[in-house]
Structure 1
Amino acid sequence: MVPGRVMITALVVSMAVVVGCGSADDAPTPTPAPTTVQLPPNQVAGVPLPDDAVDRAVAKLDELAAALMESSRIPGMAVAVVHGGETVYAKGFGVRAAGTQEAVDADTVFQLASVSKSLAATVVAHQVGTGAIEWTTPMVSLLPSFALADPATTAELTVGDLFAHRSGLPDHAGDRLEDIGFDRAAILDKLRLEPLDPFRISYHYTNFGLTAAAEAVATAAGTSWEQLSDDVLYGPLDMSSTSSRFDDFQARPNRAVGHMRVDGAWVAEAVRDPDAQSPAGGASSSVNDMARWLAALLGTGTADGTTIAPAQALLPAITPQVISAPARAPQARAGYYGFGFNASTTPAGRTDYSHSGAFALGAATNFVVIPSADVAIVALTNAAPIGIPETLTAEFADLVQFGEIREDWRALYEQVIAPLNDPVGDLAGKPAPTNPAPAQPLSTYPGSYANEYWGPAVISEDGGELVLTIGPAQQRYPLRHWDGDTFAFEPSGENAPPGSVSSARFTDDGLVLDYFDENGLGTFTR
């Protein structure tokens, strides 16, 4: 798509004026008729809202949330709805940590995961509104050190390109660098080594691409991203429980602990520190705080007299900038992405904007805004993604627009989201060879294997087995023999769900690690 700020279409207003008839001598003074405001055709929904649509939908939320909690057994969830500029529903369900009696309420703080992107876009919209930057500002003018593999792309790349995931970077580029301990600066620098797809016509969701753009905006403002978010969004909207710092989340006494599903039970097994990708996934908040932000979105940048971003600066973020999900049939609707927001059309012919967030280590979140109904809903959970917040917000949206739930959203979202929890690696789910070729003597393999992207992979021998050590965190993976010069290891972290198994294949002059070879960058030279 061609970059640039989306132009605001003026409202079409038709005036019906009734004029009296008579002679010039006795003509009465004309009385203007009431003004009739007509929406432009592209703002007219296909289906009118049912009577008392929002109130009736809100009245069903207790029942819907309780049913989802019961069927999924997730530990906790919080939900809020905004309508008419007010929070009309805010409630917690379940517990903050499994096995405790610490109840979730509307002030319980959850990790937002990728819902952070929409908050980040709002911060950038503020900066656009002040004239500090534009969505079309080139990255090189804000962060000269940032580069991608293609110099021409680097020269043209804008803040908006990265917030729309249309830079050409591969899907989730840089995420596995974070898992092995690289910090934000190192990961952003290494993005220049990633292969690129065509610029501005490829959509690939990238946490660190968006993070780079946010970092550039903060650098231009002379502060950190975390502080900029406090100064222009969280502080002005009195979002006192919201932060883009992991330490702040950890310090909240009323916070939800992340849970993974292990052997059918929800357990708090790991802690997700997303500081490296804070703009894309590192924010935390309560539904009471999120409701204040949603009110500002429904107010096109303004809530309770406080303007976070003028409408013309926010509009590009919440309207389509790139096709994110091409239609697969002539009768199907395509999906679109704005700048940090999904921007689509509902089955009722109404525009909406939304975002989901997910940590495999224990968070699933979602919000949906339907501006023509003046309503928004947010649902936050402390469990790995299985579609629960999306199901609740979709059911609510159906009730608002149709007065009934029209789809089996739970089954649909389970199907769509299930792959997020699938094990990864070329050996996942495969039985070990029954008659493997023998390995060479273990003393053959130890050494340091170089790789510009991942850094050195060190192979050592420990207690009669090989161990792979990689990354600044010195992540250790025991290797077990598989077949010949191929060994197996079990990657771990946010991007390796339980059951993941990868090969480590030794060659004459190096080592290929399948888990780290997703974009052809997994060859290490001895």
Structure 2
Amino acid sequence: MRTKPMRALATITVTATALFTVTATTLFAGAAPALAGTAPALAGAAAPVDLESLVDTAVAGHLRNDRIPGAAVTVVHGGKTVLAKGYGVADVRTRTPVDAERTGFFLGSLAKLFTAQAASRLVTEGRIDPRADVNDHLREVVVPDTHPGRPVTLDHLLTHTAGFDSDLVGRNETAPEDVGPLAESLTSRRPPRVRAPGETAAYDNYAYALAGQLVADASGQDFPAYVDTHILRPLGMTRSTFAQPQPERIAAHLARGYRPDGSSGWAEARGQYGAWSAAGPGAVSTAGDMGRWLVDQLTADSAANRLMRRVHHRQDPRLPGIGYGYEEWRRGGRTGWFKDGDIPGFHSSLLLLPEQELGIFVVFNGDGTDGRAGWDGRQLIDHVVDALAPTAADATPDTAPGAAADTAPGTAPGPAPAAYAGSYRSARVSRTSLMAVEGLVGAVSVEEDGADGLRTTGLSLDPDRHEQRWTALGGGLFRERGGSGATLAFTSDGLLVSSATPTTAYEKLSWRQSPALHLALLGSGLAVSALGALGFPAAAAARRLRGRPPHPRAARAARAAAAVTGLLAVAFTGALAAVVADGNAMMESVPLGSPLLSVVTGLGTALVVASPVVVAGAVAAWQRGWWTRTGRALFTLTALASVSTAGMLLAYHLVAEPFARLAG
């Protein structure tokens, strides 16, 4: 799962789009052949579907319109692969075409499915108790007893309810040779436990990395070796691996990941490696191998597979829940299991529909314009499902079985929609790291919309739909208008839960926690401080030109400190803007811990340090009668601005790590 870009990229010009169309047409010519061109319609379909043509057209549109170099798609049905095909290129420099059987793609968080499968095998073999304290099984890592009597269990790890904070800053590497041991990273880079386990779903990469260590300790094999021995090799997935570096036969055919650069080019993305391979970094597979895995998931009635595809946590009983690795998926009366994965330059999506014996895997080796690749994968899956397994005429929305009957209009009215209005923040937003800044710009706004409806902004996964409207069903349940079938639920403990993202709940914020208020405080503080960088030197120069005697040395030092603070504010604003200007580049810079991020936190620290100096100057100005009353008032305003800025920088951890720890 990735976060939404903080700022959209510039709109592509018509000329650039035309040039790219010519290039993309050339690239498509190298697409690898499909294993099977036509799949029969599934139960309920009106006529046979030309699957290859359908997918060809859809993928070509995504690559062309969203500037993605290549893709691979696998569809399995009835116990066999009916389509496995590559599109575009794996390397824009060599123009090597994507090959479904040979081209390796980084899976990102789809790796969590293999982690869940490995852990589930050990559970069914009786080697791990999923409800026991993980410390009972871990050998090299210890989870602190932050919540006495509430230990973290494997069940919590695999359902994103362990309660660890989110911190991915600097967790990844550019080269596989630089990846350190998993146990060492889990200890040295462990985020704090910020909530009791089992209560709130908050997507958790550390939890899955810890589950990988649990697999290693319980099995006696390191995690990549266990997955290779017990999952990959038995299924014939010879082009897949969790090892870093990869075996040469796999490394030689790896796709490169890209993000759009300029009007028509691409920049290669870095940062696909890392110690937390059980959560995503470093895991590699091909479209062909993923087809073998999908077939096994749909046909092998093993205890481990059944354990994965069972709801183990449901934040609201009326909405889709969380399995082991999977998210429950409901759409148009169909039920299944979904997972997506994102890592710099690569975006993948996977869906299982067991009742229809249908499995779909999609992967792109590009972020896409405005980071659209992840959404493109979801759209392609929906397109294939709609064609092969049409929606039933009497389909229900994507609530849990029986939920619709319990929440029909008028049966359980509950509070009026206005009671749910306010700001909500994703539970996965960090409380203790630089990633807390996501909460400053990524909040969800809920507003009343008529007598029986709500309007939300910031909740949609569709980059073209910033706003959504919802109709009340009763009991705090709402259905999206427009026929999508999506649902929202508001729980008794103040959480907002969306059927689109069951692995992360949203927490209601008080007015003091309002991101809009905090943005105003930060923005106005920086602006006023920046004005001081010009105003105070200009005032001093004007005084000299008029031939007036200089102010006392302490007064001049106070104004100089305010001017320097203003320059720091200008530099900080510019550095932060450079980080967030390109959401795709930011997705790389955060896990790599780029130098520019260090510049941002360094400038933030300097602003915090300068703030008390400016405040002291304001106090002294009134005590000693420096300047005119108007001059003292303006300097006091500057001091208040510096305090406002410093408070927000500390609150969102936009400072160096020692200061961030003090703020936490």
> The TM-score by the shorter chain falls in which range?
0.5 to 0.7
Q: Distance in 2 between matches of 1:122 and 1:480?
A: 54
Following superposition, the deviation at residue 234 of structure 1 comes to 0.7
Report 1:474-493 matches (<5 A): 481-483=567-569, 489=575
Deviations along 1:182-236, whole A, 9 cap, x unmatched?
9543442256652412321211111111110121121111111010011101111
Task: Tell me the residue number matched to 1:323.
Answer: 314
Going from structure 1 to structure 2, the CA distance change for 1:75 and 1:417 (only over 3 Å counts) comes to farther
For residue 64 of structure 1, what is the amino acid of its counterpart? A
SS of residue in 2 equivalent to 1:369: strand
1:174 matched to 2:174? The reply is no
For residue 307 of structure 2, what is the amino acid of its counterpart? P
Q: Distance in 2 between matches of 1:390 and 1:249?
A: 31
Task: Tell me the residue number matched to 2:269.
Answer: 270
Q: Distance in 2 between matches of 1:266 and 1:417?
A: 28
Report 1:127-138 matches (<5 A): 127-138=122-133
Q: Distance in 2 between matches of 1:187 and 1:417?
A: 37
Following superposition, the deviation at residue 164 of structure 1 comes to 0.6
Q: Distance in 1 between matches of 2:574 and 2:66?
A: 34
Going from structure 1 to structure 2, the CA distance change for 1:129 and 1:85 (only over 3 Å counts) comes to same
Task: Tell me the residue number matched to 1:392.
Answer: 380
For residue 435 of structure 1, what is the amino acid of its counterpart? L
Task: Tell me the residue number matched to 1:313.
Answer: 304
Q: Quick check: 1:50–1:403 contact (8 Å CA) kept in 2? A: no
Going from structure 1 to structure 2, the CA distance change for 1:167 and 1:56 (only over 3 Å counts) comes to same
Q: Distance in 2 between matches of 1:356 and 1:57?
A: 22
Task: Tell me the residue number matched to 1:239.
Answer: 237
Q: Quick check: 2:133–2:153 contact (8 Å CA) kept in 1? A: yes
For residue 398 of structure 1, what is the amino acid of its counterpart? D
1:343 matched to 2:328? The reply is yes
1:152 matched to 2:148? The reply is yes
Q: Quick check: 1:436–1:482 contact (8 Å CA) kept in 2? A: no
Going from structure 1 to structure 2, the CA distance change for 1:71 and 1:299 (only over 3 Å counts) comes to same
1:357 matched to 2:347? The reply is no
For residue 604 of structure 2, what is the amino acid of its counterpart? A
Q: Percent identity?
A: 22
Q: Quick check: 2:43–2:356 contact (8 Å CA) kept in 1? A: no
Task: Tell me the residue number matched to 2:291.
Answer: 291
Q: Quick check: 2:256–2:365 contact (8 Å CA) kept in 1? A: yes
Following superposition, the deviation at residue 156 of structure 1 comes to 2.6
For residue 289 of structure 1, what is the amino acid of its counterpart? D
SS of residue in 1 equivalent to 2:57: helix
Q: Distance in 2 between matches of 1:315 and 1:432?
A: 60
Q: Distance in 2 between matches of 1:381 and 1:248?
A: 20
1:435 matched to 2:531? The reply is yes
Going from structure 1 to structure 2, the CA distance change for 1:182 and 1:79 (only over 3 Å counts) comes to closer
Going from structure 1 to structure 2, the CA distance change for 1:374 and 1:72 (only over 3 Å counts) comes to same
Q: Distance in 2 between matches of 1:274 and 1:433?
A: 40
Following superposition, the deviation at residue 51 of structure 1 comes to 4.3
Following superposition, the deviation at residue 114 of structure 1 comes to 0.5
Task: Tell me the residue number matched to 1:23.
Answer: none
Q: Distance in 2 between matches of 1:383 and 1:485?
A: 31
Q: Quick check: 1:78–1:380 contact (8 Å CA) kept in 2? A: yes
Task: Tell me the residue number matched to 1:86.
Answer: 80
Task: Tell me the residue number matched to 1:162.
Answer: 157
Q: Distance in 2 between matches of 1:146 and 1:415?
A: 44
Q: Distance in 2 between matches of 1:179 and 1:67?
A: 32
Of the structure 1 ranges 252-261 and 73-82, higher mean CA displacement relative to structure 2 is found in 252-261
Q: Distance in 2 between matches of 1:258 and 1:317?
A: 30
Of the structure 1 ranges 180-189 and 72-81, higher mean CA displacement relative to structure 2 is found in 180-189
Q: Distance in 2 between matches of 1:248 and 1:284?
A: 9
How many residue pairs align between the two structures? 410
CA RMSD of aligned residues (A): 4.1
For residue 187 of structure 2, what is the amino acid of its counterpart? D
1:496 matched to 2:487? The reply is no
SS of residue in 1 equivalent to 2:156: helix
Task: Tell me the residue number matched to 2:462.
Answer: 413
Going from structure 1 to structure 2, the CA distance change for 1:416 and 1:140 (only over 3 Å counts) comes to farther
Following superposition, the deviation at residue 379 of structure 1 comes to 0.6
For residue 178 of structure 1, what is the amino acid of its counterpart? R
Deviations along 1:117-170, whole A, 9 cap, x unmatched?
1122122222223332243343111115321461426x6321121011001123
For residue 660 of structure 2, what is the amino acid of its counterpart? T
Q: Quick check: 2:118–2:215 contact (8 Å CA) kept in 1? A: no
SS of residue in 2 equivalent to 1:90: strand
Following superposition, the deviation at residue 525 of structure 1 comes to 6.7
SS of residue in 2 equivalent to 1:314: helix
SS of residue in 2 equivalent to 1:135: coil
Q: Quick check: 1:320–1:343 contact (8 Å CA) kept in 2? A: yes
SS of residue in 2 equivalent to 1:63: helix
TM-score (norm. length: structure 2): 0.54
Task: Tell me the residue number matched to 1:75.
Answer: 69
Q: Quick check: 1:120–1:214 contact (8 Å CA) kept in 2? A: yes
SS of residue in 1 equivalent to 2:76: strand
Going from structure 1 to structure 2, the CA distance change for 1:229 and 1:91 (only over 3 Å counts) comes to same
Q: Distance in 1 between matches of 2:98 and 2:191?
A: 44
Following superposition, the deviation at residue 495 of structure 1 comes to 5.7
Going from structure 1 to structure 2, the CA distance change for 1:287 and 1:182 (only over 3 Å counts) comes to closer
Task: Tell me the residue number matched to 2:559.
Answer: none
Q: Quick check: 2:172–2:271 contact (8 Å CA) kept in 1? A: no
For residue 228 of structure 2, what is the amino acid of its counterpart? D
Q: Distance in 2 between matches of 1:314 and 1:480?
A: 59
Task: Tell me the residue number matched to 2:351.
Answer: 368
Following superposition, the deviation at residue 252 of structure 1 comes to 2.2
Of the structure 1 ranges 286-295 and 480-489, higher mean CA displacement relative to structure 2 is found in 480-489
Q: Distance in 2 between matches of 1:340 and 1:322?
A: 12
Q: Distance in 1 between matches of 2:528 and 2:312?
A: 47
Following superposition, the deviation at residue 243 of structure 1 comes to 0.5
Going from structure 1 to structure 2, the CA distance change for 1:402 and 1:480 (only over 3 Å counts) comes to farther
Q: Quick check: 2:170–2:590 contact (8 Å CA) kept in 1? A: no
TM-score (norm. length: structure 1): 0.67
Going from structure 1 to structure 2, the CA distance change for 1:266 and 1:110 (only over 3 Å counts) comes to farther
Q: Distance in 2 between matches of 1:105 and 1:113?
A: 19
Task: Tell me the residue number matched to 1:209.
Answer: 207
Q: Distance in 2 between matches of 1:199 and 1:80?
A: 37
Task: Tell me the residue number matched to 1:460.
Answer: none
